[in-house]
């Protein structure tokens, strides 16, 4: 996976922070140096001001960067106290962010690639799909959500113009009714791939990894773990490996070769 560049503490200012779905928000932060340092698949640790009892930074991937504008785009779901307070940060408010953290996607030119995202796993998958398309690959994208109001990423995936885009919802409210893995099976039957990239709920990624392995296709997965320190000191974010032992999601990941993970 792509090695991490040097991690720094940066100031950021919220350029915009708006709801784009049910409990799903899009935050654009202005932080010029971070915007030029981040590579697809890396993450950042954001300090959300407002409550001294919550001092732990929150880890987030990013969907895109605009180094010229000096901005970074985050898509996040409100799931608890920290993300609720993040959703209340107005444009113009400021805080700090640590990044770029971890190792991102290994993007190389090659054949057709398949990107599979579930829920708010979509931001790093869209970033990967964009990088793969820029490397000259055809890229098909599968985006899954529980329901239409929680779906993000379809416009960004279509804007790539690099291959097929398939949307699934668990409840059938939009796109194909069912899971991303069902859409993936159909695509595997129609196309020859040499790479799968995925991020989403653990159970979905395990299924994607299994299908990719069965089809003999390399698979990279961006894992999510609870994180306390974010720099390899606490073991909160351990990932069990197939060969035995553990790696840390914050330092060795978050992107792993899926065949090395003990799903």
Ligand X SMILES: Cc1cc2nc3c(=O)[nH]c(=O)nc-3n(C[C@H](O)[C@H](O)[C@H](O)COP(=O)(O)OP(=O)(O)OC[C@H]3O[C@@H](n4cnc5c(N)ncnc54)[C@H](O)[C@@H]3O)c2cc1C
- Footprint of ligand FES (CB under 6 A): 227-230, 232-237, 248, 250
Q: Which of 89, 227, 239, 258 binds ligand X (CB under 6 A)?
A: 227
State the binding partner of 262 from ligand X, ligand FES, none, CB within 5 to 8 A by kind: none
- Smallest separation (angstroms) from ligand FES to the CB of 232: 5
Q: What radius of gyration, in Å, describes the C-alpha atoms of the chain?
A: 17
Q: Should residue 105 be labelled a site residue for ligand X when binding is judged by CB under 6 A?
A: no
Residue ranges of alpha helices (H) inside the chain are 32-37, 81-87, 122-134, 154-160, 180-190, 202-214
Both structure tokens of 35: 């915007």
Q: Should residue 254 be labelled a site residue for ligand X when binding is judged by CB under 6 A?
A: yes
Nearer to ligand FES, 36 or 238 (CB): 238
Nearer to ligand X, 76 or 193 (CB): 76
Q: Helix (H, G, I), strand (E, B), or coil: what is residue 177? A: strand
β-pair type (24-30, 8-21) = antiparallel
- Smallest separation (angstroms) from ligand FES to the CB of 222: 15
Strand partners, 168: 144, 176
CA-CA distance, 48 to 102, in Å (whole number)? 20
Q: Should residue 82 be labelled a site residue for ligand X when binding is judged by CB under 6 A?
A: yes
Contacts with ligand X, residue ranges (CB under 6 A): 43, 58-61, 75-77, 79-83, 120, 123, 224-227, 254
């Amino acid at each position: 996976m792509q090695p991490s560049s040097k991690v720094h503490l940066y100031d950021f200012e919220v350029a915009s922070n708006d709801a784009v779905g049910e409990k799903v928000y899009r935050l654009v932060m202005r932080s010029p140096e971070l915007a030029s340092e981040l590579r697809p698949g890396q993450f950042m640790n954001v300090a959300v001001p407002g409550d001294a009892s919550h001092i732990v930074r929150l880890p987030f991937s990013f969907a895109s960067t605009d180094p010229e504008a000096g901005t970074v785009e985050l898509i996040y779901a409100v799931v608890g106290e920290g993300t609720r307070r993040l959703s209340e940060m107005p444009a113009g408010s400021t805080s700090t962010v640590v990044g770029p953290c971890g190792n991102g996607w290994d993007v190389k030119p090659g054949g057709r690639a398949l990107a599979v995202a579930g829920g708010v796993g979509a931001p790093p998958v869209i970033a990967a799909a964009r990088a793969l398309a820029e490397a000259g690959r055809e890229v098909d994208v599968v985006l899954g959500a529980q329901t239409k109001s929680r779906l993000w990423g379809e416009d960004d995936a279509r804007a790539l113009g690099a291959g097929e885009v398939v949307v699934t919802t668990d409840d059938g409210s939009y796109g194909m009714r069912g899971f991303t893995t069902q859409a993936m099976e159909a695509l595997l039957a129609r196309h020859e791939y040499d790479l799968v990239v995925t991020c989403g709920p653990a159970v979905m990624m395990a299924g994607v990894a299994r299908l990719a392995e069965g089809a003999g296709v390399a698979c990279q997965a961006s894992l999510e773990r609870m994180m306390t320190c974010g720099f390899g000191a606490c073991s909160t974010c351990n990932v069990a490996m197939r060969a035995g032992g553990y790696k840390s999601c914050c330092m060795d990941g978050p992107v792993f070769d899926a065949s090395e993970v003990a799903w």
